[in-house]
Structure 1
Amino acid sequence: MKIWFISDTHNEHLGLQVPDVDLVIHCGDESTHGNASMNKPQARRFFDWYSGLNIETKVFVPGNHSTAVEQGLIRADDYPAVRFLIHDSMQWNGLKLFGSPYTPRFHDWAYMKKRTQLDLVWQSVPGDVDILITHGPPKGVLDLAHDSESKALVQVGCTALRRQVEERIKPKIHAFGHLHDEKCISNYGIYTRGATQFINCSCCNLAAKLKNHGFVVDV
């Protein structure tokens, strides 16, 4: 069985090379606009395309740019061919998937929580998850960015998420996006540590230009 992992397509989905797979998982940020009303037509164009893909199972986990989804302007009922996972789980071919959109607060985007709140969020993820899908990365894993003031390289992933993933959940795969490639930084990639294969599948770079086409993984 083959899974296609993609994320952060930011309105550039039509440029993606669509592989022959059994399941596609989008880890959020299908659109760009911070205003939910302005985001809605962007999101609709994405979901019209996504729901029409010739792939048997299609999963979507929102991201911080999924403002129309967060505000209820785009509803799961509108797209029955797509399984929305908003801090929820599903079964697929004997594997348990869990998807969650939450990331540490940065400005005023969608599905963000204070870092002090996120430990409780990640504690609520079941411990028997095979494939964990979050919008953002765990701390120290494919999560580099430039500090806005010093411009130094910093790891901006979620510490609480990393702790729960490494100490308790231990999924076979942890897929995410949120942190893009940018000048002198390559976050897009696959990294294995312990029992978990970590996948940053951000398709657009920091300038929201399509540079990557996601990863196909055999399970």
Structure 2
Amino acid sequence: MKIWFISDTHNEHLGLRVPEVDLVIHCGDESTHGNAWMNEPEARQFFEWYSSLDISTKVFVPGNHSTAVEQGLIVAEDYPGVQFLVHEAMQWNGLKIFGSPYTPRFHDWAYMKKRAKLDLVWQSVPDDVDILVTHGPPKGVLDLTRDIESHAIVQVGCAALRRHVDQRIYPRIHAFGHLHDEKGISNFGLFTRGSTQFINCACCNLAGKLKNNGFVVEV
């Protein structure tokens, strides 16, 4: 069985090359605009395309740019061919998939929480998850960017998420996006630690240009 992991397409989805797979998982940020009402038409264009893909199972986990979804302007019932996962699990061919949109707070985007409150969020993720899908990365894993003031390269993933992944959940696959490639920094990629394969599948770079086609993984 083949799974196509994609994320952070930011209105550039039509440029993707669609592979032959059994499942596609989008890890959030299908659109760009922060205002939910202006985000809605962007997101609906994405969901029309996503729903039309000739892939039997399509999963979507929102991200911080998924403001129309967070505000309820777009609901799962609008697109019955897409399985929305908003901090919840589903079963697929004997595998448990859990998707969560939450990331550490940065300005005023969707599905963000203060870092101190995220441990409680991750505590509710079951420990029998095979494929964990979060919008953002765990601390220290494909999570680099530049500090706004010093411009030094820093790791900005969620430390609480890393603790739960490394010490309790042990998923076979942990897929995410949120942190893009940018000048001098590569986050898109695969990284294996222990029994977990980590995948940053952000398709657009920091400038919003489509640079990557996601990853196809066989399970």
Q: Do these two structures clear the TM 0.5 threshold for a shared fold by scoring above it?
A: yes
Distance 2:9 2:72 in 1: 21
Q: What is the match of residue 13 of structure 1?
A: 13
Deviations 1:21-80 (A, max 9, x none): 000000000000000000000000000000010000000000000000000001100000
AA of the residue aligned to 1:125: V
**Secondary structure class of the residue paired with 1:127:** coil
Q: What is the match of residue 107 of structure 1?
A: 107
Q: What is the match of residue 147 of structure 2?
A: 147
**Secondary structure class of the residue paired with 2:42:** helix
Distance 2:199 2:123 in 1: 21
AA of the residue aligned to 1:54: D
Distance 1:105 1:51 in 2: 30
Distance 1:212 1:67 in 2: 23
Deviations 1:72-93 (A, max 9, x none): 0011000000000000000000
Q: What is the match of residue 214 of structure 2?
A: 214
Q: Structure 1: which 5+ runs fail to align?
A: none
Q: What is the match of residue 87 of structure 2?
A: 87
Distance 1:51 1:208 in 2: 23
1:124-203 to structure 2, matched below 5 A, reads 124-203=124-203
Distance 2:127 2:206 in 1: 33
AA of the residue aligned to 1:218: E
Q: What is the match of residue 50 of structure 1?
A: 50
AA of the residue aligned to 1:145: T
Matched residue pairs, number?
219
**Secondary structure class of the residue paired with 1:69:** helix
Distance 2:103 2:194 in 1: 23
Distance 1:11 1:207 in 2: 13
AA of the residue aligned to 1:17: R
Deviations 1:94-131 (A, max 9, x none): 00000000000000000000000000000100000000
**Secondary structure class of the residue paired with 1:190:** strand
Distance 1:26 1:135 in 2: 9
TM-score, reference length from structure 2: 1.00
Distance 2:18 2:3 in 1: 12
TM-score, reference length from structure 1: 1.00
AA of the residue aligned to 1:194: G
Q: What is the match of residue 70 of structure 2?
A: 70
Shift in Å at residue 9 of structure 1? 0.0
Shift in Å at residue 152 of structure 1? 0.3
The answer as to 2:194 corresponding to 1:204 is no
AA of the residue aligned to 2:83: R
**Secondary structure class of the residue paired with 2:197:** strand
Shift in Å at residue 170 of structure 1? 0.3
Q: Percent identity?
A: 81
**Secondary structure class of the residue paired with 1:184:** coil
AA of the residue aligned to 1:181: D
